[in-house]
Amino acid sequence: MQRIHRDRARLSTQRLSRLMPRAAIAHGASPCAAVWLGVSLGAAVWLGVCLCAAASLGASPALARTGSAGHQAGTGSAGQRAMASSAGHRRIGRRGAGSRPATASRTIELNETGHLRLVSKHNFTLKESGSASGTIKGAIYVRLTAISSSRVVLTVQIRPPGGSISGSGRGRYRRKRGRALFSGSMSFGHGKGRYSHAHGSGLRFSGVIEESHGDAITVHVRGTVSN
């Protein structure tokens, strides 16, 4: 390519060297001045052609380098975005694999019967303990208070192995031939251990106080509790 530009420049210079003196003489210039003008113009044209050729040839590598750098930058950015996306998916996958599914609540159908003996008595409050049998087996504790001649407040706690469950309620009672019968509704909302989330409402309780047998209590509790 450089050789082609040099050949073209040489031909142009030769033509100008021949034509310009003739034109100058035709317009009245001296022969020496015409020759000097032709030589100067030919040199100027030659210099301009060389500069244009050098500029065109030098620009190509620069443009190539610029295009290559842009391509590499674009490729690098795309690669970085792909790597970041892949890393994000891996993190999400690890979190998903490590997370545990929520435990579904368990429903317990209580049907308990407790047989208790008097522990202490204060005014109209009886505290008793015994054993419970039924859905949940374990120790049972009852606190029963007569708040009027026909109303009672009851607290029940059952302690099976591994935890405990407690509830309270209100009901009616009546005395009949040395016995006091009571019944009402209650709710459970306190627990420990394996029953720490136990809760339920609308359960029914009933029982009898054997006044002639040291105020021994038999109590029944029925209903649904979620844990």
Q: Which residues of 198-215 are buried (b: 16+ CB within 10 A; e: fewer)?
A: bbbeebebebbbeeeeeb
Domain final position from 98, 127, 150: 98
pLDDT at 62: 42
pLDDT at 73: 47
Query: Do 219 and 116 belong together in one domain?
Result: yes
Is the pLDDT confidence value at 65 over 60?
no
Q: What are residue 208's phi and psi, to 5 degrees?
A: -145, 140
Residue 216 and residue 13: Cα distance in Å, rounded?
A: 135
Query: Do 88 and 122 belong together in one domain?
Result: no
> Which tokens is 139 given?
């120790």
Is the pLDDT confidence value at 216 over 60?
yes
Task: Count up the domains in the chain and report the number.
Answer: 2
The label of the residue with tokens 């609308």 reads 202
* Strands in the chain per DSSP E: 107-122, 125-133, 138-146, 151-159, 163-176, 179-193, 200-210, 216-226
User: Using one digit for the tens of pLDDT, what is the confidence trace for 105-144?
Assistant: 789 899 999 999 999 999 999 999 999 999 999 999 999 9
Residue 7, domain extent? 2-98
Which one of 2-6, 12-16, 196-200 scores highest in mean pLDDT?
Answer: 196-200
Query: Do 93 and 111 belong together in one domain?
Result: no
Query: Do 28 and 93 belong together in one domain?
Result: yes
Q: How confident is the model at residue 63 (pLDDT cuts 50, 70, 90)?
A: very low
Report the share of the chain in percent with pLDDT over 90: 48
User: Using one digit for the tens of pLDDT, what is the confidence trace for 140-175?
Assistant: 999 999 999 999 999 999 999 999 999 999 999 999
Is the pLDDT confidence value at 29 over 80?
no
Task: Provide the 10 A C-beta neighbour count for residue 25.
Answer: 14
- Nearest to residue 189, comparing CAs of 139, 155, 152, 218? 155
Asked if 17 and 38 touch (Cβ cutoff 8 Å), the reply is yes
pLDDT at 91: 56
pTM of the model: 0.55
